[in-house]
């Protein structure tokens, strides 16, 4: 029996030599070390061996089995190493390559412009006052000296907000604000409430979203932003308006930039102006962006109308003030030479990534 087992052992070793993959190795293990393998069954056949031979034969069978087990483990390890070498060769990994950069979000160009505008006014002592986007007709128009049927309403086509089940003429009309100017009334009333007989002076800026029922074009959106400004106090003059806005323009567009004021009309300011800045793209020489005029319009402004001051709780005999309103999208377009305002809402990463 021992001679037969020695032969099987030699055969198992030479079979193991020929094994080249994990699957064949498993099959080999079942064949030579499994429960039904001849070597394993030999323990059951010990009865055939003369009693005095049994210890020696038993020891030898154990040795053969241990030797096969070791040969198996050595082969398994060799196969693992070979597999690793192959993987390293084929799936080459250069650990010195730089990592993949994580995409970071960034601020929308309009937000950046608004923040810059606000920062400059803050440095001049203005505070941010936040006002609502849904307004009554009263605040958006009437308290700003734009009565019903006033032709100036045509300047700002309006989105009216309907209340389901309620007839339009049963409730005061509610609108999406067409400009940030109704915030002037909210701010004045809030400040005046502190001391109605002697209301404190005001210096606020009001950034926010506005809505107009307009034809969308390359220059006009139906939803855009404005930054409003309001200063109210004793002895505030038109010179203060010019000085403040000119200083803002210099800090915003560069210290050399020149400004000019043109007469204009807004129902809530008197007198009213529009401010142009010298085209900072061509330095006033004339280019397509300034339409060869050398000037860019950036805002509307004026001295707060006495009716508006009174509506806000400020006696126009004792107080005066100036107000202004500007459009950050248009300013962003001018600064970056953006030809079409519709890019701002398109959410196209190729556009947004440039800022």
182 is a site residue for ligand FA5 (CB under 6 A): no
211 is a site residue for ligand FA5 (CB under 6 A): no
The least CB distance from residue 110 to ligand FA5, in Å, is 10
**Minimal CB distance to ligand FA5: which residue?**
327
d(Cα 280, Cα 333) in Å, to the nearest integer?
12
Residue with tokens 């190795």: 25
Exactly one of 32, 186, 212, 335 binds ligand FA5 (CB under 6 A); that residue is: 212
Among 18-26, 66-74, 91-99, 218-226, the segment contacting ligand FA5 (CB under 6 A)? 218-226
Provide φ and ψ at 51, rounded to 5°: -55, -40
214 is a site residue for ligand FA5 (CB under 6 A): yes
- Residues forming beta bridges with residue 261, ordered by sequence position: 275
Q: Would strands 202-211 and 174-176 be described as parallel, antiparallel, or unpaired?
A: unpaired
28 is a site residue for ligand FA5 (CB under 6 A): no
187 is a site residue for ligand FA5 (CB under 6 A): no
267 is a site residue for ligand FA5 (CB under 6 A): no
Residue with tokens 């970056």: 336
DSSP H or E stretch at residue 229: strand 223-233
Which of 134, 180, 187 has its CA nearest to residue 299? 180
Exactly one of 301, 303, 309, 334 binds ligand FA5 (CB under 6 A); that residue is: 301
| CB contact set of 129 (below 8 Å; sequence gap of 6+) | 183, 186, 187, 190, 204, 205, 206
Q: In what order do the strands lie in the sheet with 202-211?
A: 127-128, 202-211, 223-233, 320-326, 295-304, 269-278, 259-266
Please, which residue, 179 or 335, has the CB nearer to ligand FA5?
179
The least CB distance from residue 191 to ligand FA5, in Å, is 17
269 is a site residue for ligand FA5 (CB under 6 A): yes
Residue with tokens 């400009």: 179
Please, which residue, 65 or 145, has the CB nearer to ligand FA5?
145
- Residues forming beta bridges with residue 297, ordered by sequence position: 276
Q: And the tokens for 329?
A: 């999208």
- Residues forming beta bridges with residue 264, ordered by sequence position: 272
| Contacts (CB under 6 A) with ligand FA5, residues 318-337 | 323-327, 329-330
Exactly one of 32, 65, 75, 179 binds ligand FA5 (CB under 6 A); that residue is: 179
176 is a site residue for ligand FA5 (CB under 6 A): no
| CB contact set of 270 (below 8 Å; sequence gap of 6+) | 302, 303, 305, 306
Among 26-34, 89-97, 191-199, 216-224, the segment contacting ligand FA5 (CB under 6 A)? 216-224
Cβ proximity of 257 and 278 under 8 Å: yes
129 is a site residue for ligand FA5 (CB under 6 A): no
309 is a site residue for ligand FA5 (CB under 6 A): no
- Evaluated on CA atoms 215, 216, 219, 220, the torsion sign reads positive
Per-residue contact string for residues 281-300; x = within reach of ligand FA5 by CB under 6 A: ------------------xx
302 is a site residue for ligand FA5 (CB under 6 A): yes
The least CB distance from residue 220 to ligand FA5, in Å, is 3
d(Cα 184, Cα 175) in Å, to the nearest integer?
17
The least CB distance from residue 244 to ligand FA5, in Å, is 13
Could you list the residues that contact ligand FA5 (CB under 6 A)? 179, 181, 212, 214, 220-221, 224, 226, 228, 266, 269, 299-302, 323-327, 329-330, 341
């Amino acid at each position: 029996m021992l001679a037969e087992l020695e032969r099987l052992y030699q055969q198992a070793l030479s079979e193991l030599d020929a094994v080249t993959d994990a699957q064949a190795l498993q099959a080999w293990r079942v064949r030579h070390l499994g429960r039904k393998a001849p070597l394993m069954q030999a323990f059951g056949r010990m009865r055939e061996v003369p009693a005095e031979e049994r210890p020696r034969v038993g020891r030898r069978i154990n040795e053969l089995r241990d030797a096969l087990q070791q040969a198996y483990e050595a082969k398994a390890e060799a196969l693992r190493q070979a597999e690793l070498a192959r993987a390293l060769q084929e799936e080459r990994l250069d650990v010195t390559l730089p990592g993949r950069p994580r995409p970071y979000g960034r601020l929308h160009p309009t937000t950046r412009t608004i923040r810059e505008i606000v920062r400059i006014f803050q440095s001049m002592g203005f505070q941010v006052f936040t006002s609502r986007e849904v307004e009554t007709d009263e605040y958006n128009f009437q308290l700003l000296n734009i009565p019903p049927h006033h032709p100036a309403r045509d300047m700002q086509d309006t989105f009216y907000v309907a209340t389901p089940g309620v007839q339009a003429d049963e409730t005061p009309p509610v609108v999406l604000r067409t400009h940030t100017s109704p915030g002037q009334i909210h701010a004045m009333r809030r400040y005046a409430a502190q001391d109605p007989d002697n209301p404190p002076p005001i210096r606020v800026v009001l950034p926010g979203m506005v809505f107009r029922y307009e034809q969308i074009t390359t220059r006009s959106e139906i939803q855009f932003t404005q930054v409003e400004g309001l200063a109210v106090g004793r002895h505030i003059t038109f010179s203060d308006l010019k000085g403040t806005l000119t200083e803002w323009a210099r800090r915003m567009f560069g210290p050399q930039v020149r400004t000019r004021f043109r007469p204009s009309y807004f129902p809530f300011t008197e007198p009213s102006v529009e401010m142009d800045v010298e085209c900072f793209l061509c330095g006033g020489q004339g280019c397509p962006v300034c339409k060869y005029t050398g000037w860019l319009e950036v805002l509307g402004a004026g001295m707060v109308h006495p009716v508006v001051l009174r509506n806000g709780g400020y006696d126009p005999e004792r107080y005066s003030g100036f107000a202004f309103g500007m459009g950050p999208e248009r300013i962003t377009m001018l600064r970056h030479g953006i030809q079409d305002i519709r890019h701002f809402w398109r959410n196209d990463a190729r556009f947004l990534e440039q800022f």
